[in-house]
Structure 1
Amino acid sequence: MAQDGSGRGGRRGTRAPRRRSAFTPPKQVRLRDGEGTPLAPGGEASSGQDHEAEVHRAEGERLQKVLARAGFGSRRACEALISTGRVRIDGAVVQEQGLRIDPAVQVIHVDGRRLQLDDTKVTVVLNKPRHVVSAMSDPEGRRDLTEFTEPFPQRLYHVGRLDFETEGLLLLTNDGELAHRLTHPSFEVDKTYVCRFDAPGGPPRGLVKALREGVELEDGPARADRARVLAQDGREAVVEVTLHEGRNRIVRRMFASQGFELTALVRTRIGPVLLGDLAPGATRELTGRELGTLMAEVGL
């Protein structure tokens, strides 16, 4: 993953002093959230009770309670999810109310997204400030990530890196498989950055086009999946780029190839997870719905 890159943290999060960031982040954390037709074990759309999961009914936890704890709303909202065939257990659609399950051993999907119900696994969003090393220790004595992981009893590690000057969204987790898939090039998880640079008279007409079509770097061509101008005032410009490559400092190098040195760089999104209005230095745990969407993104 590339080294490029008020508010309060979520439950068990850290609180950081409010300071002016390079630019104003979005006010809401939004997710790409698709809904598909529930599939029965054979890959065919289920028609109802015929493909209900066979689960142990005498013991375990009520399915409605499990869904509510995972962030799917009230008991009535969770009952509606079940009755409309949007919930699968171990690959089969269930529509029976009051069903008892064992979330420790059974796999639950809602609208195709898997629920992570293992309480020992934690994934955290950090808004990494500038001048913090993306490492758990630094031989040069610079600020590192340990101050942000201390409030969590689990031993968390960073997923990828942001360079020393870059701020924004960094994931911390103790889920090794999730971390592997998020960083492996074959899964092509895209990331979005907001880039500020000096541009007297505004950015040149060909900059966004060049980023989209590809630029030449010393280690080969690089191309943004999407690029657009967010703001310009005759002195500086702000451009948003999305790409899935993970080469070292790739965003900064792409702009440098066109003659622009970035004065600020913030990562605002990884896959379906947005930074939102999380303050620099603050953390929050992913909700169950966010985590399910992220896991679906990498095929878990």
Structure 2
Amino acid sequence: MTPPARRDGTPEKKGFRARGSDSSPKQSERQPRAAEIPLSNARPARHQNVDMRARRKNTGTDDAESVRLQKVLARAGVASRRHAEVLIDKGRVEVNGRIVKAQGVRVNPNVDVIRVDGVRINVNEDNEYFLLNKPRGMLSTMSDDQGRPCVGDIVAERTVSGQRLFHVGRLDADTEGLLLLTNDGELANRLMHPKYEVAKTYLATVLGEADKRLVNQLRKGIELEDGVAKADYVQIVDAHNGQSLIRVELHEGRKHIVRRMLKAAGFPVQRLVRTKLHTVQLGEQKPGTMRALNNSELTSLYKAVEL
């Protein structure tokens, strides 16, 4: 007997009965017929086979970490997003040494080096930069096995929370004042490298009433056990009652260099405070407190070490 035909004229498959039979599949179990499948009128996407490797090569970043350049500039405080677009149009922005004029370029703030008018902009949100006014008697270490007061005690909350900061250079326990803390290893290494001759300024209270002879002596150079040491700038701020306040600027990084120079000149140091590193100043900041560097201070340090 010929199997019963379905509505479209094709015979019912073997094992199935005509519609209405007890053994027929439920409505939810039936496979849709060709006429029941809706056709999409959407056009296929353009550039479906984009070479992502080429894209990463052109933009210098991966999509997972990328952000639009104008958004990064706005977030860094350079300008509003609209003004950032104008800067890009004018060719004033460069990424990894290449000028960018196209809008919508994506960058990785944690990797890419971005400059505006040749000046590097801090866009890495993971990097932090602080100025600490180190008190007298505190060690320039992040921890001390003997339990003595150290810089790490002040930044304990940040280190406990996972933010690892380290000090840029050192101040001996009896020297107080400006100490930079950061997690930016490249900047820290360059600031300490003698190649870049980053200037440091100190205020020294010494025994003896100084005069111009001391100024000339420090500027000309003083012979120490490890070689001649010279100051870039010397000023007698005050001299009375058998003491003097001397401002000394130098780019030397040798241990205890200011104390040794003044002692060799016959003016032993009673108190020493570092007040300035390049253009970053301690100002009226109280001992034991720390603050974040502002954009202009950070930009100045970048320029000093050619970053």
Q: Verify same fold: TM over 0.5.
A: yes
Q: Within 2, Cα distance between the matches of 1:83 and 1:295?
A: 25
1:89 to 95, 102, 115: 95
- The equivalent residue for 1:114 is 120
Whole-Å separation in 2 of the counterparts to 1:259 and 1:251: 13
Structure 1: gaps spanning 5 or more residues: 1-53
Q: How do 1:1-300 and structure 2 match up within 5 A?
A: 61-72=67-78, 74=80, 78=84, 81-82=87-88, 85-94=91-100, 99-104=104-109, 105-152=111-158, 153=161, 154-199=163-208, 202-233=209-240, 235-300=242-307
Q: 2:247 and 2:83 mapped to 1: Cα distance? A: 37
Aligned to 1:51: none
Q: CA deviation at 1:76?
A: 6.7
CA contact (8 A) 2:135 2:287 kept: yes
Q: What is the match of residue 7 of structure 1?
A: none
Contact in 1 for aligned 2:203/2:273 (Cα 8 Å): yes
1:64 Cα deviation (Å)? 4.0
**Separation in 1, partners of 2:293, 2:264:** 36
Aligned counterparts of 1:197 and 1:79: Cα–Cα separation in 2? 55
Deviation at 1:186, TM superposition (A): 2.4
Contact 2:278 2:301 in 1 (8 A): yes
**TM-score, normalisation: structure 1:** 0.71
CA gap of 1:71–1:197, structure 2 versus 1, over 3 A, is farther
**What is the DSSP-based 3-state SS (H/G/I as helix, E as strand, rest coil) of the residue aligned with 1:151?**
helix
Q: Over residues 29-85 of structure 1, what are the superposed CA-to-partner deviations in whole Å (9 max), with x where a residue is unaligned?
A: xxxxxxxxxxxxxxxxxxxxxxxxx759xx854444422332335557656655665
Stretch moving more, 176-185 or 215-224: 176-185
8 A contact 2:74–2:81 mirrored in 1 = yes
Write out per-residue CA displacement over residues 165-215 of structure 1, whole angstroms, 9 at most, x where no aligned residue. 11111111222222222222223222111112233xx41220011111101
RMSD between aligned residues: 2.6
Code of the residue aligned with 2:172 in structure 1: it is D
What amino acid sits opposite 1:174 in the alignment?
N
1:206 & 1:86 partners in 2: Cα distance?
50
Percent identity for Structure 1 against Structure 2: 47
Contact 1:70 1:289 in 2 (8 A): no
Q: Is the 8 A contact 2:232 2:249 kept in 1?
A: yes
Aligned CA distance change for structure 1 residues 297 and 240 (closer, same or farther; 3 Å): same
Distance 1:146 1:253 in 2: 27
Relative to the length of structure 2, the TM-score reads: 0.70
CA distance in 2, matches of 1:124, 1:239: 27
Bigger shift: residues 190-199 or 249-258: 190-199
Q: Distance in 1 between matches of 2:285 and 2:87?
A: 30
Q: Which has the larger radius of gyration?
A: 2
Deviation at 1:262, TM superposition (A): 1.5
**What is the rounded CA distance, in whole Å, between the counterparts of 2:243 and 2:84 in structure 1?**
49
C-alpha displacement of 1:134: 0.7
Give the CA deviation at 1:108: 0.8
Name the structure with the higher helix share. Answer: 2
2:221 is matched by which residue type in structure 1? G
Residues 205-258 of structure 1: CA distance to partner in whole angstroms, max 9, x if unpaired?
Answer: 200111111011122110001111223345432221111111110100100011
Structure 2 SS opposite 1:239: strand
Superposed CA deviations along residues 105-144 of structure 1, whole A, max 9, x for unmatched, are 4321123222232222222211101110111223443201
Q: Which amino acid in the other structure matches residue 181 of structure 1?
A: R
Gap change, CA 1:95 and 1:237, over 3 Å in 2:
farther
Cα distance change, pair 289–110 in 1 and its aligned pair in 2 (3 A) = farther
